[in-house]
Amino acid sequence: MECFEGALVKMPVKLADTVQYTLKVGEHLIDLNAQLGNKIVMEYTGEIHCIACGRHTKKSFSQGHCFPCFRSLASCDTCIIKPELCHYAQGTCRQPEWGEQHCLKPHVVYLSNTSGIKVGVTRQQQIPTRWIDQGATQALPIYEIDQRLHAGQIEDFLKAHIADKTNWRAMLKGNAEPADLKSIAKKLHQQVEKEFDADFMKRFCDDATVVGINYPVLQYPEKVSSQSFDKKQIVEGSIMGIKGQYLILDTGVINIRKFAGYQVKVSI
């Protein structure tokens, strides 16, 4: 049995015929695809270290931050979840240099098929990682936009026509039925054209290709039971699959990204 110790972080992913997942425990890198069917034991040591500054914190905020970083970092601001609220142009960004590097860069408004069809926004360089982290089985860029605020405004408008959230429990029970994303995108574009000036958009991605994503899953759970280090010290079970940022065990599922910064001992 191999043993590793260190802090958890969001699982690195790589798009391939089947998504390649790595479990990063401190400096240790574990090829999770190669561990399908094997038993894993993860023991929480009781310590959490902020993924931004490294300080010890009794409670994790915004997926691995201490409270001071949660309050001060631009990456933890509300506009990260709601890009239509980006306030860089108002001069009130928590970290203007960070905003220039992240918010004033090309963004993509996209459709993805997770637990169903949804609309979302991500930085162009985050494709296809963002789609994989959501557990999407299909994805399609629909707009390339010059900055986060403008992309968020289009997404916010489209929320009236299509969902913008994933039902994570449904996503973990299996793959949603395939959908004609290009047809849906064209119908949504007709609504956007009525609301926004044509010059507002960099371009409608009418020539984009739907990306299909396959996950390493031996068996989906019939009932999704969530595991948490905040409720129990040890999470263990046989690895039945990985989807999104969830490790699917025969004993339940655990969102690895949620517990970034948690110090654990991992045995496989």
Judge if 30 and 116 occupy the same domain: no
Judge if 233 and 256 occupy the same domain: yes
pLDDT on residue 203: 83
Q: Is residue 189 part of a domain?
A: yes
Q: Which residues of the chain have pLDDT under 50?
A: none
Q: Is residue 66 part of a domain?
A: no
Judge if 101 and 158 occupy the same domain: yes
Q: Is residue 199 part of a domain?
A: yes
pLDDT on residue 16: 97
C-alpha–C-alpha distance, residues 21 and 32, integer Å: 6
Judge if 35 and 83 occupy the same domain: no
pLDDT on residue 196: 85
CB environment 91-101: b (16+ within 10 A), e (fewer): eebbeeeebee
Q: Is residue 64 part of a domain?
A: no
What are the C-alpha distances in Å from 151 to residues 33, 144, 203? 35, 8, 12
Q: Is residue 230 part of a domain?
A: yes
Q: Is residue 160 part of a domain?
A: yes
pLDDT on residue 254: 98
pLDDT on residue 197: 74
pLDDT on residue 83: 96
Q: Is residue 15 part of a domain?
A: yes
Judge if 198 and 76 occupy the same domain: yes
C-alpha–C-alpha distance, residues 64 and 62, integer Å: 6
Taking only the tens place, the pLDDT of each residue in 79-102 is 999 999 999 999 999 999 999 999
Note the Cα 114 to chain centre separation in Å. 11
Judge if 225 and 260 occupy the same domain: yes
pLDDT on residue 206: 87
> Looking at the 3D structure of the chain, how many domains does it have?
2
Taking only the tens place, the pLDDT of each residue in 5-51 is 999 999 999 999 999 999 999 999 999 999 999 999 999 999 999 99
pLDDT on residue 201: 59
**CA-wise closest residue to 121 among 94, 168, 153, 162:** 153
pLDDT on residue 195: 86
Element (DSSP H or E) covering residue 81 = helix 78-81
Q: What domain range is 125 assigned to?
A: 71-211
What are the C-alpha distances in Å from 142 to residues 104, 113, 122, 186, 194? 19, 14, 12, 9, 16
Judge if 259 and 161 occupy the same domain: no
Judge if 202 and 227 occupy the same domain: no
Q: Is residue 65 part of a domain?
A: no
Judge if 150 and 184 occupy the same domain: yes
The first and second tokens of residue 9, run together, are 């972080």
Task: Give the SS3 label for residue 127.
Answer: coil
Judge if 196 and 75 occupy the same domain: yes
Judge if 88 and 138 occupy the same domain: yes
Judge if 13 and 143 occupy the same domain: no
